Structure 1
Amino acid sequence: MPNASLIIENAKVLTMDPDAPRAEAVAVAGNRLLAVGSAAEIVTLAGPETRRIDAKGATVLPGMTEAHLHIFPGAVGLRQLQLAGVQGLEALRAALSQYADDNPDAALLICKGADYNLFGAGIATTRQLLDQALADRPVILISGDHHTAWANTAAMEMAGILEGAETVIGTEVVMGEDGTATGELREFDAYMLVMRHRSTGGRENLGMTGNEPDIEVTPEQWEEDLETMRRGLTYCASFGFTSLHNMDGNLYQLKLLRELEQRGELICRIEIPYHMNQTAPIDSIDIASRMTAEFSSDRLRSGRVKMFMDGVIDSGTAVMVEDYADQPGWKGEPLHSAERFEAICVEADKRGLQISVHAIGDGAVRRVLDGYQAAREANGARDSRHRIEHIEVIHPDDIPRVKELGVVYSMQPSHPPGALDFPLTPWTLKVGEARWPYAFPVAALRDLGVPICFASDWPVADINPMRSVKAAMTRQPYKAGDPDNRIGLHEALSYYTAGGAYAGFDEDRLGSLKPGLLADIVVMDSDLEALGAAAVDRARAAMTICDGQIVWQASEG
């Protein structure tokens, strides 16, 4: 056996290999795992040129997969005003005043992470309230889930929508009783009416809509966007992520990432789908096939179609089987008709493309399952691993169908209201007590053997996987007698490693630590098992290794 190029020792290795779940050390040769075993076994592989890394008794894991994020808008958001934790008029006024002073030339002040209860529980955010915080500059506040935005009067006037505007199905410029817009903008196509007036040509929000830049990008802007992507990749690597399933479905970002790959600066493996929005013709799926053929390297690829079936529960744009508990007569509007969606699924599946669909409400989940079933009936059963992203509520009749159709559940443990950063209301009130037992159904789907992968949906939620692990371990039922969806540490970590690899058809090369697989590894700064559920969120990555190379390392001291 050759000498190792790198050895990690004095470690508590959780391999995610069921045949050898624990080890004390790991040896790497080039970009492959050479050996995983006891300290005595691995030390014999050290040579004079071997780099030896002391894990200091901390946990070592396979490199983690962030199975659902929006890297470009997330990276841009690191420089935008973040309103998470900002509550009330005075706090908002202070934050906006400083932000406006720091950005005197911005045509539109863009803020992220606004709470639906910004001005208090049950108080609707309006342009008039925002005017009290800042009136003389156009400003837009985007909710944490990125499905609702609120604009002040100056922004609404700049966009020419103070008197309302027509938008595509499932989106809305909300109107008030006085015949003018309230400032609330539901879903992307509505708030893009304001966002199109920003100074950047829309590049910072590209992936959320699947659109390409609506300006001719200059060389200077191209370099600026490359730096934004570098910043996002580094941020992801700092948490131990070596693989990213990016949901920003446009060609522009693939080209940016290919440029970084050619420069030797692509420090994470990343996959980008074709985003098929509700207005795209069905034959535009040809774009997905072209993207798949053009981008297929070891670190950068396409191969998937991403769609939205509905919005979110908090704004009433998710699709339910039965009426919203707080809004009799309203179930939400699906973004794709059953006939259109089934036709897309049949065609994508026939081409061998994986499909991922955002489906929040139980009505949306049902329509997605119907589409996947139509694809199977038309094309025959195959290992498609089509995914449903989120599943905040599922109808009990549809739980077994997820398993029967071979669907992967892409779950975000930070999303259940009350589990981490999102408040209980208005979500719990809109869903209603009768549907609480079927909310974020990790236990029910796990017990059926449904494959699960974990993610954050960053920048919708905190990307820190250890905070999500804590949320998964400590989540409480909404009422006594509801299913207990808490899971253990090892299970949560498996969904971030082996589960993510499986969701990306990568289990034969990633997701576990065993000889011959690619050397994607994260060395944590703590023994995760010793911390316990209450403190596991204190842990961070100390070192991230992708393809046998150290791509990120925490500073000493």
Structure 2
Amino acid sequence: MNRPADLIVHNAHVHTVDEARPRAEALAVRDGRIAWVGDGDGWRELAGPATEVVDGRGRLLLPGFVDSHNHVRLGSDAACVQLAGAADLAAIGARITAWLARHPAADWIEAEAFDYSAIPGGRMPTAADLDPYTGGRPAFVLSYDVHTAWLNTAALRRLGITAATGEIPFGTVRKDPVTGEPTGFVTDFATRGLSRDGHRALRAAGLPWASPDRQYGRLCASLDQAARYGITTVVEPQNSLDDLALFERAIAEGRLRSRLVAALFHPRGTTDAELAEFAAAARRHRGDRFRVGPLKLYIDDVVEPHTAALLEPYAGHHSHRGETFYPPEEFAEVLARLDAAGFQAFVHATGDRGIRTVLDAVEHARRVNGPRDARHQVVHVECLDRADVPRFADLGVVACMQPRHCSPDIAGPGRDWAEAVGEQRWSKAWPMRSLHEGGATLAFSSDWNVAEMDPLIGLYTAVTRQGLAGGEPWMPGETVSLATALRGYTLGSAYANFLDDRLGSLTPGKLGDLVLLSQDLFGLDPKAALDTRVDLAVVGGEVIHRAG
């Protein structure tokens, strides 16, 4: 006779994401794995004196959420001035002034989450915009997408950035086209500032934000959020080898309750010796709780500051259409080399030309290496040309997307994203339904802290393409069904990360990762997702979150 189960959930709507048995009423977990899925009172035979039995009361039981792109190491920093929601320069200045009043001895002013739309006239910010509010203290301000940094005059001086400055380790210094002086705006921060060399340079300059202790604080706070939101597997998409010590510390101190996959950052110019170090790290960390392995690359940047690569010029520009970080031929050779070595690539691509460059590179890799189950990912897929939609399925490329990004209150009409590409290209915006119907695998994620971590917010946006306050949907023809969205946050993301053999569906034999929501979303108005919480989150049969 089999030993009793450790955990049983019954009287629930069990949405399994398993085509062999899509729906059930009860589930049992034993020794960290799903032992049984069924209906009625069949669970009673598995219950013993020590079994935890949870009455689902008709609530929705799901596989644990797999957040396929979540910057838990960046997180949201409590020591920074928080600028989310500051709609203009005056509001930004007021928050900085209030923070300075509370921290009069601060050596640096650090702030995060400024929105490009807060800068008047659609221009990019300058040091002169910050100077009136910073009292001569150096200020370092990150955009909400962490792709750009904004410095005041004192910070430029502290960091030694002048008209004579060329390349810097943590970004590209924008200069006034007339005077040649640095404007205070630094682009390419995500591709340089978050690199190993970039972080070391910022630490050497004395920036507290880049210190290991501050990073660890952000990591722990984000991991706690992940557990609360039922994210049982986190994919941290961009790390250097130095950063792995943070995860090892979290494991040693019991702070890593969810599973975690860490991708390593592959900047342009990565050497064979560094690739060997990446492979060695992957061999060291290959467990079910913590795994290292995929490589993160960039082909372009972001739409709002006009640094994504578009096929046609940006709206209102005669010729500017952004640049790719690699010439296409070079990128194709880089990807083919990584593919031949067995690496999986996560490639950031937002513009339609950037995305096409990645797809062309995957096609080249398959041609020279032969097809294999590589599951390379295009991450973000924000502006996709219709001709490239079927290529995802044809090439086996995963579309790793963040539904919340396409919300009208973030990217839609009147916002910087929509205005930058122009209305004639809005039909290209986050084409989730087209990709799904074209046979592509969708892997959904939050991109925390660019957007809220809560998967229920992502589900709501994927199904409605409305803002959090409701209103008119933006490009509603690209919404997806609730079942499709749930698959994107579970089995789709598990597949995208080579975890579908053990995670992503409530199938006997798979690991016991599951979430019980506070209500059954099926049959309810989609907005009900915003009023729903995770009542129970379980990893390998162990409860990591229980609502009070």
- The normalised TM-score by structure 2 is 0.91
Paired residue for 1:500, among 493, 502, 512? 493
Q: Which runs of 5+ in 1 are unaligned?
A: 206-212
**3-state SS of the aligned residue for 1:57?**
coil
1:104/1:190 CA distance change after superposition, 3 Å: farther
> Is 2:50 the counterpart of 1:49?
yes
Query: Residue type of the partner of 2:233?
Result: S
Residue 165 of structure 1 contacts residue 173 of structure 1 at CA under 8 Å; is this kept in 2?
A: no
> Is 2:548 the counterpart of 1:547?
no
Q: 1: CA distance between counterparts of 2:472 and 2:281?
A: 46
What's 1:490 paired with? 483
The offset of 1:204, in angstroms, is 4.7
Query: Residue type of the partner of 2:82?
Result: Q
**3-state SS of the aligned residue for 1:107?**
coil
What's 2:521 paired with? 528
Q: 2: CA distance between counterparts of 1:262 and 1:197?
A: 27
1:17/1:444 CA distance change after superposition, 3 Å: same
What's 1:33 paired with? 34
> Is 2:281 the counterpart of 1:291?
yes
Query: Residue type of the partner of 1:547?
Result: G
The offset of 1:132, in angstroms, is 2.4
> Is 2:16 the counterpart of 1:23?
no
1:31/1:8 CA distance change after superposition, 3 Å: same
The offset of 1:240, in angstroms, is 0.5
Moved more, 168-177 or 3-12: 168-177
What's 1:96 paired with? 96
Q: 1: CA distance between counterparts of 2:391 and 2:61?
A: 36
> Is 2:351 the counterpart of 1:358?
no
Moved more, 291-300 or 424-433: 424-433
What's 1:181 paired with? 182
1:26/1:354 CA distance change after superposition, 3 Å: same
1:481/1:175 CA distance change after superposition, 3 Å: closer
> Is 2:403 the counterpart of 1:402?
no
The offset of 1:10, in angstroms, is 3.0
**3-state SS of the aligned residue for 1:534?**
helix
The offset of 1:450, in angstroms, is 0.4
What's 2:153 paired with? 153
What's 1:446 paired with? 436
**3-state SS of the aligned residue for 1:528?**
coil
Q: 1: CA distance between counterparts of 2:58 and 2:205?
A: 47
The offset of 1:55, in angstroms, is 3.1
Q: Deviations over 1:289-344 (max 9, x none)?
A: 12211211111111211101111011111011222222211121211222332222
Q: What percent of counterpart residues are identical?
A: 33
Equivalent residues in 2 for 1:432-471 (5 A)? 432-471=422-461
1:29/1:191 CA distance change after superposition, 3 Å: closer
Q: 2: CA distance between counterparts of 1:368 and 1:111?
A: 33
Query: Residue type of the partner of 1:484?
Result: G
> Is 2:226 the counterpart of 1:236?
yes
Q: 2: CA distance between counterparts of 1:384 and 1:190?
A: 26
**3-state SS of the aligned residue for 2:129?**
helix
Query: Residue type of the partner of 1:303?
Result: G
Q: Deviations over 1:176-218 (max 9, x none)?
A: 644433222222178788995568966855xxxxxxx7xxx7x
What's 1:61 paired with? 62
Residue 135 of structure 1 contacts residue 154 of structure 1 at CA under 8 Å; is this kept in 2?
A: no
What's 2:166 paired with? 166
Residue 74 of structure 2 contacts residue 218 of structure 2 at CA under 8 Å; is this kept in 1?
A: no
Q: 1: CA distance between counterparts of 2:372 and 2:543?
A: 37
Residue 453 of structure 1 contacts residue 495 of structure 1 at CA under 8 Å; is this kept in 2?
A: yes
Query: Residue type of the partner of 1:247?
Result: P
Residue 415 of structure 1 contacts residue 422 of structure 1 at CA under 8 Å; is this kept in 2?
A: no
Q: Deviations over 1:427-452 (max 9, x none)?
A: 22221233222221212211111001
Residue 75 of structure 2 contacts residue 219 of structure 2 at CA under 8 Å; is this kept in 1?
A: no
Q: 2: CA distance between counterparts of 1:28 and 1:190?
A: 44
Moved more, 53-62 or 188-197: 188-197
Moved more, 506-515 or 166-175: 166-175
Residue 476 of structure 1 contacts residue 486 of structure 1 at CA under 8 Å; is this kept in 2?
A: no
1:19/1:204 CA distance change after superposition, 3 Å: farther
Residue 173 of structure 2 contacts residue 184 of structure 2 at CA under 8 Å; is this kept in 1?
A: no
1:449/1:159 CA distance change after superposition, 3 Å: same
What's 1:110 paired with? 110
Equivalent residues in 2 for 1:230-269 (5 A)? 230-269=220-259
Residue 75 of structure 2 contacts residue 221 of structure 2 at CA under 8 Å; is this kept in 1?
A: no
1:282/1:102 CA distance change after superposition, 3 Å: farther
Q: Which runs of 5+ in 2 are unaligned?
A: none
